[in-house]
Amino acid sequence: MLKKAQHAVGGEAVELTRLDNGVEILSLALPHTQSVALGFWIENGSRHQTAAEDGFAHLLEHMLFKGTPRYSAADLSAAMEPLGGNINAFTDRELTAYHATVLGEDLPEAFALMQEMVLHSHLSADELRLEKSVVAQEVAMVAEDPEDWVQEQLSRRIWGDDPLGWPILGRSSVIRRASRRRLLDYYRRHYVGSRIKIVAAGRVAHDGLVALASRELGDLPRGEGVPPCVPPVFQAGEQVQHRHTFQAHLAWAAEGFAVDTPDYYRASLANLILGGSSGSRLFRQIRERLGLAYSVYSHLEFYRDTGEWRLYAGTERSNWRRCAAEVEQVLAELAAQGPAPEELERGRRHLRAQLLMSLEDVEVRMTRLARQWIYLGRLVPAEESLDALAAVDAEGVRSLVEDRWGRRYRFLCLPEKGGAA
């Protein structure tokens, strides 16, 4: 086993132990806390599927809550309840995570439950039959929500037939055909030592966590690491589609940034000023001044080798042209003139406050440690982040908006004529 420590802010130390099979155990001890956040992070997401497996990553996440040879689904919930917390999970395009927050004294018990669930699911054929129906209904719900549907359509258009453009939930046709044998094969290929990170932050003793992980995960096969992904080519363009909706749903996308970009805080600040808060230009112009939309925002998504920058506005059918023109005008003005000094200062203070307040939350600390280690191979000290944020100037924001939004895709979902009123 290889063990090393990396010192971070204020004397805090991130400790790492790597088992012979590739499993990595990372911990950040925060002695002033009573709680600890524990996560089992799997380097597997919807991006790592074939067309015949579209939706398997998310379906598997569901199935791991459905029982093991030792615990039924009800037993898992009942065992977690006395610990004062619960086990949650999510699947995104590049990662799947199972996490819980408990008292430090209950870490061994929580670890035992989580490893049993994540690594020893029996994937019952009966439970799979039921859960396939549940997930298919979840897919149908997204299809019936115009805003979600528009975002999925936009993904398909900007990334083409690359898995990055596929819905995380998958396709109902593939999910309904999934067999226990095929899902079990997927489980065994992806939930292997070289792809697993055990991460804890809070009241945790690293050696104790390593002892738990060695005992329970030491025999797990190493397997193959994450396959290299070729970043897809971002597609610019425009499409108008009519659908049975009450509102017009307008969405834009520009190519974003990889996680390790040196422009991380320049992009984050630009997004906040554009549409990432209630003080943003889009919110103030489209909603507050003109009353054209209830929901209007911008959002950044960072991936390992590329990213997305999106805008969205939902408006009445009679206002869609004006709303679209106003969004375009906000983009054009920010790209031409950059932010005003007071906008830049408000944005800096906002992001600074978010960062510093997040350091008091053990679950956020655990998530930050996991993501930074997986993508960057280190924990970024808060001072480094604050320095990068302070260095962003108005010209940097302006030029970034001009560069990224110079090529974009616009997807307009308009109500059918004579359709929903």
For 117, the token pair is 């669930």
Sheet holding 296-302, edge to edge: 237-243, 409-415, 247-255, 307-316, 296-302
Dist CA 385 CA 132 (whole Å): 43
Chain mean position to CA 45: 10
Distance of CA 210 to the CA centre of its chain: 27
Please give the structure tokens belonging to residue 228. 């290299």
Q: At 91, which helix (H) or strand (E)? A: strand 88-91
Catalytic site residue from 12, 43, 53, 61: 61
Distance (Å) of CA 355 to CA 30, 35, 368: 17, 20, 11
Determine how β-strand 296-302 pairs with β-strand 409-415: unpaired
Return d(Cα 307, Cα 309) in angstroms, integer: 7
384 belongs to the catalytic site: no
Q: What angle do the packed helices 56-63 and 180-190 form, to 10 degrees?
A: 90
Are 251 and 154 in contact by the 8 Å Cβ rule? The answer is: yes
Contact 306, 258 (CB under 8 A): yes
Q: Identify the CA nearest to 150 among candidates 69, 224, 242, 249.
A: 249
Positive/negative CA dihedral, 272, 274, 277, 279: positive
Instruction: Decide if 385 contacts 392 (C-beta within 8 A).
Output: no
Residue labelled with tokens 């005992």 = 215
- Please tell me whether residue 286 adopts helix, strand or coil conformation: helix
Which positions ≥6 away from 159 have C-beta within 8 Å?
165, 232, 234, 235
Q: Which residues does 23 contact at the CB level (< 8 Å), separation at least 6?
A: 193, 196, 197, 198, 213, 217, 218, 220
Asked if residues 327 and 292 have their Cβ atoms less than 8 Å apart, the reply is no
- Using CA atoms, how far apart are residues 55 and 169, in angstroms rounded to an integer? 5
Active centre residues (catalytic): 61
